[in-house]
Structure 1
Amino acid sequence: MSLPTRPAPTKPRTSRLTPEPRSTRRWIALTVLALAQFLVVLDASIVNIALPVLGRQLGLDTVALAWVITAYVLPFGGLLLLGGRLADRVGHRRLFLIGTAGFVTASALAGLSASGGMLLTARALQGASAALLAPAALALLTQLFRTSADRAKALGIWGGVAGIGSAAGVLLGGVLTANLGWSAVFFVNVPVGLLVLVALPKLITRDPATNPSRLDFPGAATVTGAVVAAVGALSSIEQVGFLNPLPIGLTGAAVVLGSAFIVIERRTGEPLVPLAVFRNRNLTVGNLVMLLVGAAMVAMFFALSVYLQTVLGYDALTAGLSQLPLAGALVLVAALVPTLVAKLGTKASLIGSLVTLAAGLVWLAAAPSGAIFVLHLLGPTLLVGIGLGGAFVTATQLSVDGISGAEAGLAGGLINTSQQIGGALGLAVLASLAAARTGALEAADATTSQALTGGFSWLFLGSATFALLGAIITTFARRMPVAETPTPSQPIA
């Protein structure tokens, strides 16, 4: 008589709904990803303080100095969607490392530049590399943290780092330029970028094999051209005005190319941007809000920096230090967003953040030409930091909610593109509004400081309007549930 045998244990089947984790040290991996994102955000603002010194040493006039900024912004904003889709096709880790390597190389070339042409070329390479790096980094974050609670915590850190990068640009730019020269604002990227390149492959597994597919080159060409034309038009308005042939022509090109892109995406079998992705109402609302937050944020940081130095007479270092309370509030709130969302819900948290941001900007608009920091600026900048921290993180969370792993790079490209276009839109429209108000006050015999203060006041009120518009859109949007575990099979409707 034979003894009954126990069935051999079967190897558990791996469900396609629960993909293998990309890292066993995901919080350390997040730190490395956040470092790279910090460099991308920092580089959009750190150069501003160095421009006067840089211009004198390289012989660049005012128009050429503006192109030092534009040469970075145009390829960055224009290539983000392509970069996000490439990350989905060739692998998120792979493209992140390629983008980081390109960014480090371009930063070194910018620091070594001996002519304006060489510097502009390096800046364009920086922007193109950032467009590969940024969406791939956000896609990796969504894969490392798959539950809503963990992802919210990770995005809180992500938002805090982005806020620090935006606010720290003025401070670091002043310190590095004053002590080490203008080239230091570019060389500072090199050791940090090399650290990222060495550490990340040890922390995140290789990209899983993907089915090779044809890249939608006509769609890529038209959407890149449309975004570059739109950002170029908005950026040129500040310099030449609304009615100049340059912004008018670029706006027309953006409309034509954008229309062609939509037609191509409707007809192609493998679109660069599947239009069905916008059926995800959270993604759509998140991107609309991010566009408006970007418009308010970029214009506000520009005006605040100029107001502190031109009107109040702060030097570059003091102006940077005065923005530390704002950055600190932003970082603190970004870390608290998961708790806030758990108690109030996503919709209420986002509306409250946008209203707080608007309130801080309205308060800031009341600052006089002889403002004392503690009395007139500390309170409103703290409110602005609180509002930005909550709005940035919650809008980003919405934009990636329910997105499958195969479209994570696309979602990262979309949210970054929305922020870039919003920033260009806000700066173009509100800077022109401020200039018109300043001119009217000067014509009415106001002093220079009073006229400038009046112009900046209108700019801050305009930024508040963008924030309130975001709150209104969120209020009337349909209910926003947060998916617990986004998976490849999850519907995006």
Structure 2
Amino acid sequence: MCIRDSRTTGHQRAALLVLLTASFTLAVDFSILNVALPAIGTDIGLGISHLQWIATVFALCSAGFTLLMGRVADITGRRRTFLAGMILLGAGSLTGGLATTPTILLAARAAQGLATATVVPAALALLIGTFTEGPARDKALGLNGSLMAAGFTTGAILGGLLTDLLSWRWAFLINVPIAVAVLATAPIVLQESRAHERTRLDIPGALTATLALLALVHGLTHAAETTWTDPVTLAALAAAVVLLAVFVAVERAVPVPLVPLRMLTRPSVAWGNVAGLLAFATETSLVFLLTIYLQKVLGYTPLAAGLSFAVLGLGTVLGGLAGPKVIARFGSRTAIVGGFLLQAAATLPLVLISAAAGSIWLVLVATFAGGVANLVVIVGFMVTATADVPASEHGLATGLTTMSQQVGIALGTPVMSAVLTAVALGAAPGPGTTTVLDGVTAAIWVNGGACVAAAAAVGIFLRRRARA
């Protein structure tokens, strides 16, 4: 798995292996429960309109705290922060495996999300610090992006296998020995690093950012359960806008902001992160939609549904390996725009799926092609958003990229769930096979359209900002 060329050392490869193992595990954590959602809903007591909270709580905590933890890593030490996050991951996973109520289960997912917010920016900062900017770092970032995306798919397969053969609880418990192994190895192969200047943490900025995201996700989720014009929905969305404005005001006022607005004026940072947010929003929410389709419409078991995503995993690995080559030849902007267009071309034909068993072939071909395209975008996003960033701000830059990933995951699934639920529940008193299929295909139209819009926005505005 590690990079082997004349520009890397054995120590670099060992450090990369530890960091990739942690990142891969956390990526698996997001999706490992996806195919188990129906089983968890039956066992714990969650309806179809509430199942997405199992994924959303995880992403919400990760997105809400990732910038703060990226700055904590810069100040207190990236290796120390990395190890603390792995401890939290092990504790949260053990709690989830023993959960007996929705409250305990969601609390465990929140702990795993906070662990992600702690580990991922620290791991990325350590990775960037291990390799100098250039081909070696691009390859490391490409491999990291490839394994993280493959982790989403591996999680679906592993979750189905564990649910069918053992129990969905093992989807939590499997993390415990991995966390222990990383904690035993990391202090040996990872070197401590931190920013040269110690600064105060921007707690008000972190709180307002988290509350804004929470209000936004709550509004989107409530819209799925009621309507877009429901007073609670409108109030939550309005609160999100107000809190975001407060966050911007706080960042301008505090001496050491959580997100220095000057960093967002860099075209590479700003539009690279926009691309990352949309890439993760579209692909992870598509996996959620197809999971519902495979089990509720085609009647697949969790294991069969998980195995159906194996080709997506293969596509993401190939895309992650091809991404650096595409960037080297055409540039990161072209890689991002072209990747989004190819992802849209692979996604939109999925509106033709039906209750017929033969539709699985369309799913396999489309998800493979979409996985390749999506990873080209993700590698382009990672390279673009972390280029030309000084070493003292590596934690902040990687915190931004992690936040983009997790905000995309946190928002993509509720939006697609809202479309699915609105169509399914609006067509009949209860979502049967036909109405669920209608909801899934409607959400796929939105998903593919978002890919086209993303390609247009990044292509136009990144170019304009670059010229300016």
Scaled by the length of structure 1, the TM-score of the pair is 0.85
Q: For residues 451-462 of structure 1, what are the structure 2 equivalents within 5 Å?
A: 451-462=435-446
Deviations 1:396-431 (A, max 9, x none): 211111112222122222222222222333333333
After TM superposition, the structure 1 stretch with the greater mean CA deviation from structure 2, 231-240 or 258-267, is: 231-240
Matched, 1:284 2:270: yes
Q: CA deviation at 1:387?
A: 1.0
By how many angstroms is 1:244 displaced?
3.3
- Give the letter for the 1:395 counterpart: F
Contact 2:8 2:136 (C-alpha < 8 Å) held by counterparts: no
Question: Secondary structure of 1:297's partner?
Answer: helix
C-alpha separation between the residues in 1 aligned to 2:52 and 2:405?
20
Query: 1:273 is paired with a residue of what secondary structure?
Result: coil
| Offset, 1:294 | 2.1
Verify: 1:132 aligned to 2:118, yes or no: yes
Is the 1:235–1:424 contact (alpha carbons within 8 Å) kept by the matching residues of 2?
no
* 1:68-104 alpha-carbon deviations (Å, 9 max, x no partner): 4444233222111111111111121111111111111
1:303 aligns with 2:281: no
Compute the displacement of 1:236 (Å). 3.5
Normalised by the length of structure 2, the TM-score is 0.90
After superposition, the CA RMSD in angstroms is 2.8
Residues 115 and 382 (structure 1), Cα distance of their counterparts in 2 relative to 1, 3 Å cut: closer
- Return the offset for 1:131: 1.1
The aligned counterpart of 1:260 is 246
Q: Is the 8 A contact 1:355 1:471 kept in 2?
A: yes
Tell me if structure 2 keeps the 8 A contact 1:234–1:424: no
* Deviation of the 1:303 alpha carbon: 1.0
Q: Which residue of 172, 180, 199 maps to 1:194?
A: 180
CA gap 1:415/1:366 in 2 versus in 1, 3 angstroms: same
Aligned to 1:231: 217
Give structure 2 stretches of 5+ with no counterpart: 1-6
SS of residue paired to 2:414:
helix
Cα distance in 2 for residues equivalent to 1:282 and 1:480: 12
In structure 1, the residue matched to 2:459 is: 475
Alignment of 1:77-92 (within 5 A): 77-92=63-78
Q: Is 1:424 paired with 2:406?
A: no
Map 1:163-174 to 2 at 5 A: 163-174=149-160
Indicate whether 1:383 and 2:383 are aligned: no
Equivalent residue, structure 2, for 1:345 = 331
Quick one: distance in 1 between partners of 2:252 and 2:73?
A: 22
Quickly say closer, same or farther: Cα 1:197–1:221, change in 2 above 3 A.
same
| Residues 231 and 421, structure 1, Cα contact 8 Å, conserved in 2 | no
Contact 2:70 2:395 in 1 (8 A): yes
Paired residue for 1:160?
146
Aligned length: 460
> Which secondary structure state, in structure 2, belongs to the residue aligned with residue 48 of structure 1?
coil
How far 1:64 moved relative to its partner? Answer: 7.3
Q: Distance in 2 between matches of 1:450 and 1:181?
A: 29
C-alpha deviations, 1:136-185, integer Å up to 9, x for none?
11111211122221122112211111112211222211211222223211
Deviates more, 1:425-434 or 1:47-56: 47-56
Instruction: Give the drift of 1:379.
Output: 2.2
Distance in 1, Cα, partners of 2:312 & 2:227: 32
Counterpart of 1:289 in structure 2: which amino acid? A
The answer to whether the aligner puts 1:104 opposite 2:82 as a matched pair is no
**Deviation for aligned residue 1:57:** 4.9
Cα distance in 2 for partners of 1:104, 1:149 equals 34
The aligned amino acid for 2:203 is: F
State the alpha-carbon separation in 1 of the partners of residues 366 and 140 from structure 2. Answer: 27
3-state DSSP of counterpart to 2:68: helix
5 Å matches for 1:56-75? 57-58=43-44, 67-75=53-61
Structure 1 residue 328 displacement after superposition: 0.1
Change (3 A) 1:48 1:339: closer
Match in the other structure for 1:465? 449
Matches within 5 A, 1:42-57: 42-55=28-41, 57=43
**Cα pair distance change 1:187/1:371, threshold 3 Å:** same
Select 2:379's aligned residue among 386, 393, 402. Answer: 393
Q: Which residue of 1 aligns with 2:4?
A: none
Q: Identity across aligned pairs (percent)?
A: 33
Between the aligned partners of 2:163 and 2:352, the Cα distance in structure 1 is 32
Looking at structure 1, the residues matched to 210 and 451 of structure 2 have their Cα atoms a distance apart, in angstroms, of 27
| Shift in Å, 1:132 | 0.9
Aligned counterparts of 2:168 and 2:440: Cα–Cα separation in 1: 28
* Partner SS state of residue 31, structure 2: coil
1:368 and 2:354 matched: yes
- Kept in 1, the 8 Å contact 2:34–2:288? The answer is no
For residues 267 and 325 of structure 1, the distance between their equivalents in structure 2, rounded to whole angstroms, comes to: 49
SS in 2 for 1:477: helix
Kept in 2, the 8 Å contact 1:79–1:224? The answer is yes
Contact 1:286 1:399 in 2 (8 A): yes
**Letter of the structure 1 residue corresponding to residue 212 of structure 2:** A
Q: Distance in 1 between matches of 2:183 and 2:59?
A: 23
Q: Supply the AA of the counterpart residue of 1:384.
A: G
Shift of 1:295: 2.1
Which structure has the larger Rg over C-alpha atoms? 1
In structure 2, distance between residues paired with 1:453 and 1:208: 51
For residue 177 of structure 1, what is the amino acid of its counterpart?
T
CA gap 1:71/1:459 in 2 versus in 1, 3 angstroms: closer
Distance 1:472 1:423 in 2: 21
CA offset digits 1:344-392 (Å, max 9, x no partner): 2222222211111000001222223315156423321221111111111
Query: How many angstroms apart in 1 are the aligned matches of 2:179 and 2:224?
Result: 33
The alpha-carbon distance between structure 1 residues 266 and 481, as it changes in their structure 2 partners (threshold 3 A), is: closer
* Matched letter for residue 223 of structure 1: A
The CA distance in 2 between the partners of 1:375 and 1:113, in whole Å, is: 37
Deviations 1:179-205 (A, max 9, x none): 222321111001111111121221121
Task: Give how far 1:471 is off.
Answer: 1.0
Question: Structure 1 stretch 127-136 or stretch 229-238: which is displaced more?
Answer: 229-238
